[in-house]
Chain A
Amino acid sequence: MKLRAISVFAALFMALVLWGMAQAQSIDEKVRDVAQALECPVCENLSVADSPSDLAQEMKALIREKLEQGQSKEEILQYFVSRYGEEILRDPPKTGFGLVVWWGPVAGLAIGAGVIYLFFRELSRKRGAQVQLPEPSEEDVRKYGKRLEEELGKQGGKPI
């Protein structure tokens, strides 16, 4: 019963997600989207979209022109890379060395998770086996809850 309710919710949710993804962008939004992926060549740490410089204005006009000609975001970015080099991209390309960049943090996280797992196993093993807690009966839970609340009331809750 519960499971069915949850799966209905999940299905609804997925439908919404897909619907949201399908929302189309206007031309202004597309220009900004492309311009945000490009680093302003004459500024420090500003995208073409956010830069007030003349060069950035020209680049934005060029992006609009190319979008209106029907070029895709990738094609336009490629055009700017061929003119300015890879430095123009605000984010590294997802190929070659760029892959290392993108996956570095993920690898770091995986290593961290692995270390924690090993640490956990090490500490648990020292103790023998993991504790198997018997499932408490409803009665136990009720009694324990009552006692806990009394204690909490006395001290106003335990400090962490």
Chain B
Amino acid sequence: MSITDVGYVAVLLSLVVAFYSGVAAIVSARRGLEELEASARNGVFAIAGLLSVAGFLLFYAFFSHDFGVRYVYVNATRDMPWYLKLSAFWGGQEGSLLFWAWGLSIFTAVVIWQNLRRNREFMPYVIAVLMAIQSFFLVVLGFVSNPFERLPFSPLDGQGLNPLLRDAGMLGHPPFLLAGYMSWSIPFAFAIAALLTGKPGAEWIRAVRHYTLVAWAVLWIGLLFGAWWAYHVLGWGGYWGWDPVENVALMPWLMGTAFLHSIIVQERRGMLKVWNFVLIILTFALSIFGTFVVRSGVLSSVHAFAKSAIGPLFFLFLAVILVFSLALLFTRLSSLRSEQTFDALVSRESSFLLNNLLLVGITFAVFWGSILPLVSEAVRGVKLTVGPPFFIQVAGPLFLALMLLLGICPLLAWRAVTWATLWRNFRWLLLGTLVVAGVLPFVGVRNPWAIVAYSASAFALASIILEYYRGVRARRRFSGEGYPKALSTLVSRNKRRYGGYIIHLGVVIMAVGIIGSLMFQKVREATLSAGESMSIGGYTITYNGNAEVFMPGHQMIQAKLDVLQGEKKVGEMGPGKSIYRNYENQPVSRIAIRSGLGEDLYIVLAGYEGNSLATLTVFVNPLVAWVWIGGVVLLLGTLVAGWPELQARAVPVRRPVRRVVASEA
């Protein structure tokens, strides 16, 4: 027996404990047995410990080159650098699922710890739901997809990660994506607990707000890393290809965005209760769908490296989740009546509804496009695909509408707005927007859709600035503080609202980058002999032959390029191709990118012959940097919005004056 078998035993023990804790939690709630609930809680902590042992043992297997473990043999080689060995953990299906379960066990333990005194009624059911989810993953890990499975012998070296995954970006993208999917379990568990306890009111919404923000932010980081990786590794000049695996990650994020908005309406007005349950159930189901698609290869795509027989199991799990939770929701409908009614068609509430419609609409369109190959294959026997143009044409206008709404919503009052007030609030914004639309063509933006999209962004931006300006002005008038002080007080006293606006600001910044890189990308392909040049968008690129670079485990062919912008030399670039041992027929592009705030010069070595012939694909991608900047601003806004309120610090009680006097007397 080797040390990694301990990991497998830990997984099996976790399964037993998870089953026990889930059942114990429910029995404790039904019978009111507090000690049993404490025992269930201890089970949760034990699972976190056991799975941590399993997780560290898998890391250990990678770093000690234990190629007798099949998973290590497939995903690692001796000479891979440390960060690749680290990321090989989630390079395949078994490790990814272990990561999921491990993360869930830790997150569950944290949630239980934080709620030892809060949300008492919900907690047993929260434990039970989370343990049910955990059990599913442990069954898969234990009996279908075991990361600790041993080969009958110990090979001297492994095959190594798929070359496309040999990138530092793999340290961030998969773990955040998986953790993001996993985190949606928590709000889902609270929702089910709220339904089961017959208290589907405002309590669960309050309880999950922060967990929801965490899940949303973590999934966002995963998406952002994914886009970054695609841009730097895949070599087609873009960062989002509407690939099925990208799409399934986007869907729960969009649905979760709808949820984050619509719970505001429930908090403020006591409406949309049923809808919020539906949204969180669907968000969680989409997260499971995402995990399932990434790791089963059911929708063929460049990411689905790991393919196996876990498909039907996941499908069954998904069906159980949907049927169980929707049926439960249905039985509780009578207790979910709205406390308020809609007063007018134009109001803050209805703008939230429209926001939900658009977000869910986009999610639906993305879902539709992603499952189409399966549907068409089943219906017509032809595997039809849908590419970026479909998604851009269908989802683009919806995103545009969303952008306009983002600008309009803050100007609408709750309950009802009259047209006159609306006009008063809007006229300057509208005028500003029209001026922007009029100026754009003179600064080179001539594509009509770009003009529309940029005008909408300008409108949204102006509306956000106006909101801040109004708040700061009011604050100054009241307190006489200077502008910076007034701004910081304003934000710190209303983290949620003004953090939300920072998120919106991030969205607008990203939109500027996306529109720019989508509509104004320039591309040229040329085959050059040594000494020849090509030019594109003001750059002149001179080719000086190929060089060979040898590195551990792979060799790289690099084209040596001098880059001139106008007359000035701005640098040397060296796009290349890497060829890895064991993957000789799958060369990977090493893209050369020169980034700037205005544009990126992005060069791919498409082909080469000998030492003095190369085919280059050169892209000039305007404003891509703003996609990353906006993405980070969005994250900062989330931090502000979710920053915990400081508890009013207890003032230490001084000795009562009377006693002092008495003692002196």
- Chain A: residues with CB nearer than 8 A to chain B? 2, 6, 9, 12-13, 16-21, 23, 28, 32, 36-37, 39, 44-47, 50, 52, 57, 85-87, 89-92, 97-98, 101-102, 104-106, 108-109, 112-113, 116, 120, 123-124, 126-127, 130-131, 133, 135-136, 141, 148-150, 152-160
Tell me the bound Cα distance from A4 to B215 in angstroms. 49
CB distance from B173 to the nearest CB of A (A): 17
Interface residues on chain B, number (Cβ under 8 Å): 84
Determine which of A16, A45, A126, A148 lies in contact with B451 in the assembled complex, contact meaning CB atoms within 8 Å: A16
Which segment, of B63-71, B314-322, B337-345, faces chain A? B337-345
**A87 and B343 contacting across the interface, CB-CB below 8 Å:** no
**A16 and B446 contacting across the interface, CB-CB below 8 Å:** yes
**B364 and A9 contacting across the interface, CB-CB below 8 Å:** no
Chain B residues numbered 241-267 whose CB sits less than 8 Å from any CB in chain A: 241, 243-244, 264
CB distance from B478 to the nearest CB of A (A): 2
Determine which of A47, A123, A157 lies in contact with B471 in the assembled complex, contact meaning CB atoms within 8 Å: A157
**A152 and B475 contacting across the interface, CB-CB below 8 Å:** yes
Determine which of B372, B387, B451, B604 lies in contact with A17 in the assembled complex, contact meaning CB atoms within 8 Å: B451
Q: Knowing A17-B451, A112-B360, say if A91 contacts B389 (CB, 8 Å).
A: yes
Determine which of A2, A85, A123 lies in contact with B342 in the assembled complex, contact meaning CB atoms within 8 Å: A123
**A87 and B385 contacting across the interface, CB-CB below 8 Å:** yes
3 A-B pairs with least C-beta separation: A153-B478, A90-B387, A50-B236
Q: Knowing A9-B434, A39-B385, say if A105 contacts B361 (CB, 8 Å).
A: yes
Q: Knowing A19-B446, A102-B390, A149-B474, say if A157 contacts B493 (CB, 8 Å).
A: yes
CB distance from B345 to the nearest CB of A (A): 7
Q: A45-B243, A89-B385, A153-B479 are in contact. List 13 more A-B contacts (CB 8 A).
A: A13-B451, A45-B300, A45-B385, A90-B386, A91-B390, A92-B372, A102-B390, A108-B364, A108-B365, A109-B357, A133-B416, A156-B494, A158-B497
In the complex, per-residue mask of B459-479: 1 if CB is within 8 Å of any chain A CB, else 0: 000000000001101111111
CB contacts (< 8 Å) of A126 on chain B: these are: 341
Tell me the bound Cα distance from A97 to B268 in angstroms. 45
Nearest residue (CB) in B for A18 is B448
Determine which of A23, A52, A91, A116 lies in contact with B607 in the assembled complex, contact meaning CB atoms within 8 Å: A52
**A120 and B342 contacting across the interface, CB-CB below 8 Å:** yes
**B451 and A109 contacting across the interface, CB-CB below 8 Å:** no
**B497 and A105 contacting across the interface, CB-CB below 8 Å:** no
Q: Knowing A44-B302, A45-B302, A131-B343, say if A116 contacts B382 (CB, 8 Å).
A: no
In the complex, per-residue mask of B412-453: 1 if CB is within 8 Å of any chain A CB, else 0: 000110101100100100000010011001000011100100
Tell me the bound Cα distance from A124 to B493 in angstroms. 35
Nearest residue (CB) in B for A86 is B382
Determine which of A19, A47, A90, A160 lies in contact with B268 in the assembled complex, contact meaning CB atoms within 8 Å: A160
CB distance from A114 to the nearest CB of B (A): 10
CB contacts (< 8 Å) of B477 on chain A: these are: 149-150, 153
CB distance from B399 to the nearest CB of A (A): 13
Q: List 13 A-B contacts (CB under 8 A).
A: A45-B385, A85-B382, A90-B388, A91-B385, A91-B387, A97-B384, A123-B338, A124-B341, A130-B344, A136-B418, A149-B473, A155-B493, A157-B471
Q: Knowing A17-B451, A45-B243, A52-B235, say if A160 contacts B368 (CB, 8 Å).
A: no
Tell me the bound Cα distance from A141 to B470 in angstroms. 16
Nearest residue (CB) in A for B487 is A156
**Does B30 sit at the interface, judged by CB under 8 A?**
no
Interface of A, secondary structure class, is helix
CB contacts (< 8 Å) of B236 on chain A: these are: 46-47, 50
CB contacts (< 8 Å) of B311 on chain A: these are: none
**A37 and B497 contacting across the interface, CB-CB below 8 Å:** no
**A156 and B360 contacting across the interface, CB-CB below 8 Å:** no
**B441 and A16 contacting across the interface, CB-CB below 8 Å:** yes
CB contacts (< 8 Å) of B365 on chain A: these are: 104-105, 108-109
Tell me the bound Cα distance from A44 to B373 in angstroms. 13
CB distance from A48 to the nearest CB of B (A): 11
**Does B606 sit at the interface, judged by CB under 8 A?**
yes
CB contacts (< 8 Å) of B604 on chain A: these are: 52
**B343 and A13 contacting across the interface, CB-CB below 8 Å:** no
**A47 and B387 contacting across the interface, CB-CB below 8 Å:** yes
**B524 and A156 contacting across the interface, CB-CB below 8 Å:** no
Q: Knowing A13-B438, A120-B353, say if A152 contacts B471 (CB, 8 Å).
A: yes
**B301 and A45 contacting across the interface, CB-CB below 8 Å:** yes
Q: Knowing A108-B365, A131-B343, say if A101 contacts B386 (CB, 8 Å).
A: yes
Nearest residue (CB) in A for B361 is A109
Tell me the bound Cα distance from A33 to B492 in angstroms. 50
CB contacts (< 8 Å) of B1 on chain A: these are: none
In the complex, per-residue mask of B387-402: 1 if CB is within 8 Å of any chain A CB, else 0: 1111000110010000
Determine which of A90, A124, A136 lies in contact with B389 in the assembled complex, contact meaning CB atoms within 8 Å: A90
**B497 and A97 contacting across the interface, CB-CB below 8 Å:** no
**B471 and A156 contacting across the interface, CB-CB below 8 Å:** yes
**A17 and B448 contacting across the interface, CB-CB below 8 Å:** yes
Tell me the bound Cα distance from A37 to B392 in angstroms. 13
**B364 and A16 contacting across the interface, CB-CB below 8 Å:** no
**A160 and B474 contacting across the interface, CB-CB below 8 Å:** no
**A9 and B438 contacting across the interface, CB-CB below 8 Å:** yes
**A6 and B493 contacting across the interface, CB-CB below 8 Å:** no
**Does B308 sit at the interface, judged by CB under 8 A?**
no
Tell me the bound Cα distance from A45 to B415 in angstroms. 47
CB contacts (< 8 Å) of A158 on chain B: these are: 494, 497
